[in-house]
Amino acid sequence: MLIISLLLANTSYADMSNVSGYVSMTYSSNYVDTNDHRSIRNLNWSGNLNYTFSDNTIYVDSGGYRVYEDDVGTYLTDTIIGIRNNQYYQWEETGNIGYAIQFTLPTSEFSKKDKLYTALRLSIPITNKWGNINYFFTPRVKKNFHKYKTAGDKNLTEWVASINTGIGYQWHDFTAKLSLLGGTAWSYHGTRRDWNYSGALSGIWQITPHFYTALSTSNSGVYFDAERGTVGNIDIFDLNTANYSIAVGYSF
């Protein structure tokens, strides 16, 4: 602690102004009766640290969660280290195309069980803004690096391709956002998984310049390809499978 204090004391304000991040805690549940086997209740916490230089940002994300149903326990998530530039290419006044490259450190129990060495993900965020409305569209591709191609009877995933898109509206200190995520994956043996998707509707209130709270609801499902089976319905919101969450956070 003394060494850290000395380092911070000798760090210029200009350097510290390049550092930002947040810590947050989220409680999520599907609000099914706790005696029902379908009940889901989790408490998640996460942290993020950024260092910006020129137009680039180096970031670290990590966290954990507490499960209150089925496999009760406290678990860690994977740790992410990456670099991004959200304004690599600009068009007109508000349009931007960026990039993000990140590596995964297998700190979660599940990644350790699957003998994951690391994962590399490339994202291309495309954003634009019209007044108080902002839009984003982000294609992503990820390559996993496991020690083995299988873990027990499970064929491990080698490639993941996905698209994350959404729209938001900001009014004073309140932001409403609708986001959609869809994608598919391939095993090391070349077998493609069914398409999966998730949707979320959230409202974020910036209480102070540093403290915020958020309410959200989300849903997910699987879309079966016609040539491989029955075509499934895409229900973006289903009361029977929806999940609800409330979050509080501090940003700096």
Q: Is the pLDDT assigned to residue 232 strictly greater than 80? A: no
- Amino acid at residue number 181: L
Please give the class, per CATH, of domain 2-251: mainly beta
C-alpha distances in Å from residue 137, one per residue of 55, 85, 166, 232: 20, 15, 7, 24
Q: To the nearest whole percent, how much of the chain has pLDDT over 90?
A: 76
Which of 87-96, 107-116, 221-230 comes out lowest in average pLDDT?
A: 221-230
Asked whether the CA dihedral 5, 7, 12, 16 is positive or negative, the reply is negative
Q: Which residue has the tokens 């986001």?
A: 179
- CA 177 to CA 175: how far, in whole Å? 7
- Specify burial of residue 49 (Cβ count, 10 A radius: 0-12, 13-18, 19+): middle
At residue 145 the predicted structure's pLDDT band, cuts being 50, 70 and 90, is very high
* Model pLDDT, residue 221: 74
Q: Is the pLDDT assigned to residue 161 strictly greater than 70? A: yes
* Ranges of each domain in the chain: 2-251
The pTM assigned to this predicted structure is 0.86
Element (H, E) at 205: strand 195-206
What would you measure as the largest C-alpha separation in the chain, in angstroms?
64
Q: Residue 139, SS3?
A: strand
Q: Is the pLDDT assigned to residue 235 strictly greater than 60? A: no
